[in-house]
Structure 1
Amino acid sequence: MSKVVYILNGPNLNLLGKREPEIYGHQTLDDVNEMCAALAAELGLEIIFRQSNAEHDLIDWVQEAREAAQAIIINPAAYSHTSIGILDALSACQFPVLEVHVSNIHKREAFRHFSYVSQRADAVIAGCGVEGYLLALRRAATLLDNA
C-alpha cells in the first residue's frame, strides 16, 4: 500500500504562473501538481494535491489528513503569517509536516519573515521556486522510510 502525502496550497497559489512571475516564476499550479505526481510515483508515494483561498478548507484538509495520510507538505502562502488555526491543526498531526514557499520569504517584506506554520514544520523550504515542492516530497519520502 502506498504512503499518502497531502500537498496543500493556500491563497493565491491558483494564480501561480500568472501573478508576479518575476517572484513566483511561470509554472502553474497544474504544472506543480504534474511534477509532484511524477516524482511521487517514482518514490512509491501517493499524493493528494489541493488548493484553496479559504483558511477553513486548509484546516479541514489537515484534519482529514490526520486519518488518511502519512505526511503533509503545505504552502500556506499568506496564511503562514496569520493563521494560528492552521498551526493548531498541524500540531495535532503525528507525522512529518513540511512547509514550502516558492519565494524566499526572508528576503521579502518584514511581515513575511515570520511563519506560524514553521513552529510545527519538520522542515522549511523557501526560495527554491516550484522545485521546493519536489525537495519537500523527497524529504517526506526519506522521513517516511526512516519512520
Structure 2
Amino acid sequence: MKVIYPGSFDPVTYGHLDIIKRCSEKFDDVIIGVLNNVSKKGLFTVEERMNLLKETTSQFKNVEISSFSGLLADFAKDKKCSTMIRGLRAVSDYEYEMQMALVNKKLDPEIETLFMVSRSEYVYLSSSIVKEIALHNGNISSFVPEIVEKEMKNKIRGDF
C-alpha cells in the first residue's frame, strides 16, 4: 500500500521523522508531499525543505520526497495514491485535520485519511515552536536533527 504524508515541513522536526519512520514500517511506499504554499513565506524554500527531508530520511528506502502546490486531492491523483496520513498531537489538531479530511473526501471520494497519533514525547512539538525558539537563539537540538539545526542557524544569521 502507498500513502502520502503531506505537510509544510518548515522545518522537519523529530515529530515528523517519527511519523515518517512509523509509516515506512507499515506501508510499502511513503510519499512525503512538501506543500508549496505560495501565500505563505516560509523559513526554508521548498527545495531546501525537500533537501533536508531527503537527508534526514535517507535510511528509509521506501520514502519518496516530492513537492506540490494547490490541492492535495490533485497531488494524490497525480501520484496515483488515495491514502493520506496525518499526524495528530492534540484534540485541536483533530478538529482541523477532520475538516481537511472531509474536504479532500468531497473533492475525491476515493481519498481516505488515516490519523497517526504522535508519540507522547512529540505532542508539544511543532515547526512553529521550533522556529520561535531558534529566532530567539534558544537550543533546538532536542527538536530537530543536527543538519536542520545547522541550516536554521545559518538562515537566521543570514549565512545562506
TM-score (norm 2): 0.37
- Structure holding more helix per residue: 1
Whose radius of gyration is greater, 1 or 2? 2
